[in-house]
Amino acid sequence: MSDRLPDDELNEIKELIGPPDGLPDKPDITYEDILTELHMGAPAPPEPPLREEPFPAMDDELEDIEKRTREMRDYAEKARSLRPEKSAEKATAEKPADGTIETAEFSLSPEFEAHFAPSDVFQMEDEAESHFPDKERRNIVKELWQRLRSREEAPTPTPAQAHPRAHAYTVNLRLRTVLAFALTCPLVIVSCFQTWGFLPGFLTYTGDGKPYLALFFMVLLQTLVMLCGIDVLGRGAGDLIRLKPGAETLVALSCFSSLLYVGSIVLRNTTSEGSLLHNTVGFLPFNAISAVSVVFALWGYSHRYAAYARAYKTAASQGDTCDCVISEEKLWGGLPGFARHTAVPEEFVAQTEAPDIVSRVMRFFTPLLIVASIVLAVLSASYHEGGQYFFWAFSAFCCAGVPLTTFCSYPFVFSRVAARLSHMGAAVTGWTGAVEMSRGDVIIIEDGDLFPSGTLALNGLKILGDHSFETIISYSASLLRASGSGLFKALESVVKDHSGYLRAVTGLEMFEGGVSGSIGGNRVMMGTLNFMHSMGIQVPPELSSKSAVFTSVNHDLAGVLAISYTPATQVKGALLLLEGQKMTNVLAVRDINITPTLLRDKFNINPDLPEFPVIEERVQLSDPGRPYHGKVAAVLSRDGLCPYAEAVIGGQRLHRFTIINLCIHLISLVLGMLLVFYFTSQTQPVAAVTLSPANLLLFMFVWWALQWLISCFSHRY
């Protein structure tokens, strides 16, 4: 917008309205002077400064737009007042009283139209509004409650990341277990051998006087043991707050009930002449049993994380991609089974640390046990006078609800099986893998499982016709590699030493006992003696051999390869082991020489037991690119059938022995609760003598010993 009007328009306006009153006629009068006079002789008041917006980079552009907008409105108003039919006074008189400006019809220049185009540039989005939230008072208690109720989901670590953590935690648990055991031994002696007469007088819990010293010694040792297992107790308290109590919650409740009973004894002795329940030695506190439950919980955790560390170490030794045992529901003949695949075990850590069957069962029974302990304690106390009897009965029920078998049913077996498998180069994915292993009946065995690297060798090669040694070796190795046969391992080193390269194979065909393909325009076939006879290729009688492999080029016999098969001792043991477990062994082999008869000759096994499908099924089952639908049940770090079979059988035994231990645990739990209720319902002398810490601890130890003896055979197979 120009600061001056054109000269012709200015002269025309001056002639029409004449010189303003009180203003001398000046030929060089400016347009600003006229506007100033018509505007009551006073300059327009300055505009207030623009309010700072939260967009500092756009301040200049915003000020320029608002300035041009004001200039345009002033120009429209003053142009209307300069019309010949209206004077300035008349225009002022006709101005609305509310101070609004009547907008005249006029056309805007392109520069103003661009500025007045619809735009939402300056509309603040929700993200921008979030920078100016209303201040609200934070409810710290509510936030803490929500954090306790819900666990934050952390990204699943890889086996390489999880191994050092599990190993460090295992060492920490073992040290604390030893320390807690050392503190528990004197506590057990003081609690269980009160009637033997060899304890010092200040540690004797008798009816004469106040048993403060003995109680103080028990509480002190139990508190120190609880500090050693603070993570177990904290996990139990956290599960209770989240309303998902488990076995750890029962341990915490046992410790709390024992301390509560001691507090009731002290309170009764200080408020009355004598305590009802310390006059008899049988009414001793159960601090020793609570401490023993903490020790066994730590011991079980140490076995669990030791198994985790071994499994993660095995899985991390092969990198991101490793051989995995995949469990499939319909693998062969509609039967579930296991196959070996190369995969990335992304969920290995999550599957290994998934809750086992014992943890799930205890999570179901824990609320029932808590309610049963309270109800049965009330019923037992109703048969006796005095409210102090309730605390003693409640403590007994809480201790009986945590047998010593609770934390050893699964971890002890898992630790022993994982230790054996780690030496064999295998690792099971915890309870998840054990469940998958228990469902399979079929195991797929391939060439590399029966004859791994180092067991095949080329003993000799005879060239026939006018073919060179390098050509026959190259043709044979190329055809074997294209077919996926394990025989390629016997020729791999020879190819590198002589020909140095492999050739492209087209038109590959697989037959029973042989393979055929086109190499460089030549039709090459390899197979056994029977295969050559079926193809019409004559083999001299002096070259006939059952273990030899024959190569023909364009239907002419070109070479005879003598292959030696060295049976591995571990593979033989694995085959016998699978036979003993009544597993169906399916030979999905591509080696033209491997047959049930060869296995009988090399491994001395029954040739009728392994299943030998037709060539089409064998090729399909042994295809490395075959899509599978199942879970990773185990990972393998070594070749051969031994780690493969060990993983399958180890997972099955882990499942079987855990179920047995769970049955023992539930029997000891239910029987212990019933016996405690029976004796607490009897008269006080009978209950005091029978239900002592020594008797209850002995009962729990017997069931644990039975479980431990059975678990010792879990890894012996």
- CATH code of the domain containing 589: 3.40.1110.10
The helix/strand count (H/E) of the chain reads as 27, 12
Contact criterion met (CB below 8 Å) for 499 and 470: yes
Segment 400-440, tens digit of pLDDT: 999 999 999 999 999 999 999 999 999 999 999 999 999 88
**Residue type at position 488:** F
DSSP letters, 640-657, are: SHHHHHHHHHHHHHHHHH
Say how far apart CA 663 and CA 659 lie, in whole Å. 6
Q: With the C-alpha atoms ordered 464, 470, 473, 475, is the resulting torsion angle positive or negative? A: negative
- Based on the fold, state whether residues 616 and 579 are members of the same structural domain: yes
Strands 335-343 and 630-636: unpaired
- Based on the fold, state whether residues 187 and 291 are members of the same structural domain: yes
Contact criterion met (CB below 8 Å) for 368 and 258: no
- Based on the fold, state whether residues 56 and 170 are members of the same structural domain: no
569 within a domain of the structure (yes/no): yes
- Based on the fold, state whether residues 660 and 615 are members of the same structural domain: no
- Based on the fold, state whether residues 382 and 484 are members of the same structural domain: no
561 within a domain of the structure (yes/no): yes
Say how far apart CA 673 and CA 666 lie, in whole Å. 11
555 within a domain of the structure (yes/no): yes
Hey, what are 409's tokens? 């049913």
Say how far apart CA 294 and CA 403 lie, in whole Å. 11
Say how far apart CA 578 and CA 588 lie, in whole Å. 16
132 within a domain of the structure (yes/no): no
Rounded-to-5 percentages of helix, strand, coil across the chain: 55, 10, 35
- Based on the fold, state whether residues 287 and 351 are members of the same structural domain: yes
- Helix extents (H) in 440-555: 447-450, 469-483, 488-497, 529-534
Say how far apart CA 595 and CA 587 lie, in whole Å. 8
CA 347 vs. chain centroid, Å, equals 6
DSSP letters, 376-430, are: HHHHHHHTSSSTHHHHHHHHHHHHHTS-TTTTTTTHHHHHHHHHHHHHHTEEE-H
Q: Where does a domain end: 558, 587, 621?
A: 621
pTM attached to this predicted model: 0.75
Say how far apart CA 553 and CA 78 lie, in whole Å. 106
Say how far apart CA 371 and CA 103 lie, in whole Å. 83
Of 258, 219, 268, give the one whose Cα is nearest residue 388. Answer: 268
Of 336, 368, 428, 378, give the one whose Cα is nearest residue 634. Answer: 428
**Residue type at position 619:** V
639 within a domain of the structure (yes/no): no
- Based on the fold, state whether residues 187 and 321 are members of the same structural domain: yes
**Helical pair 488-497 and 469-483, crossing angle rounded to 10 deg:** 140
Contact criterion met (CB below 8 Å) for 235 and 173: no
596 φ, ψ (degrees, to nearest 5): -55, -30
370 within a domain of the structure (yes/no): yes
Say how far apart CA 148 and CA 7 lie, in whole Å. 83
Q: What is the model's pLDDT at position 153?
A: 54
- Based on the fold, state whether residues 581 and 668 are members of the same structural domain: no
Q: What is the model's pLDDT at position 246?
A: 93
Strands 442-445 and 548-553: unpaired
Of 584, 380, 623, give the one whose Cα is nearest residue 484. Answer: 623
138 within a domain of the structure (yes/no): no
Q: What is the model's pLDDT at position 331?
A: 86
Q: What is the model's pLDDT at position 689?
A: 72
Where in 577-679 does DSSP place strands (E)?
Answer: 584-587, 630-636
DSSP letters, 169-215, are: HHHHHHHHHHHHHHHHHHHHHHHH-GGGS-S-GGG---SSS--HHHH
53 within a domain of the structure (yes/no): yes
Instruction: Please name the residue that has the structure tokens 């579930």.
Output: 336
The domain in which residue 232 lies consists of 159-330+340-424+646-711
Say how far apart CA 539 and CA 531 lie, in whole Å. 11
**Quick count: other Cβ atoms within 10 Å of Cβ 158?**
17
Domain count, the chain: 3
Q: With the C-alpha atoms ordered 173, 174, 179, 185, is the resulting torsion angle positive or negative? A: positive
- Based on the fold, state whether residues 367 and 465 are members of the same structural domain: no
Average pLDDT by stretches of 10, the chain with 717 residues: 51 56 50 51 48 50 70 68 49 46 46 46 43 50 60 72 94 96 93 71 62 86 95 94 93 94 77 48 82 96 96 88 88 89 87 94 95 92 75 92 94 95 94 92 91 87 85 90 90 78 89 91 91 88 82 91 89 88 89 89 87 91 84 90 94 95 96 92 73 90 95 90
Segment 361-408, tens digit of pLDDT: 999 999 999 999 999 999 988 877 656 788 889 999 999 999 999 999
Distances (CA, A) of 344 to 130, 423, 548: 42, 22, 38
Distance, first Cα to last Cα, the chain: 99
Q: Where does a domain end: 621, 655, 682?
A: 621
**Residue type at position 281:** V
Give 682's DSSP letter: S
- Based on the fold, state whether residues 173 and 321 are members of the same structural domain: yes
- Based on the fold, state whether residues 498 and 560 are members of the same structural domain: yes
- Based on the fold, state whether residues 184 and 294 are members of the same structural domain: yes
Say how far apart CA 276 and CA 385 lie, in whole Å. 9
Q: What is the model's pLDDT at position 191?
A: 84
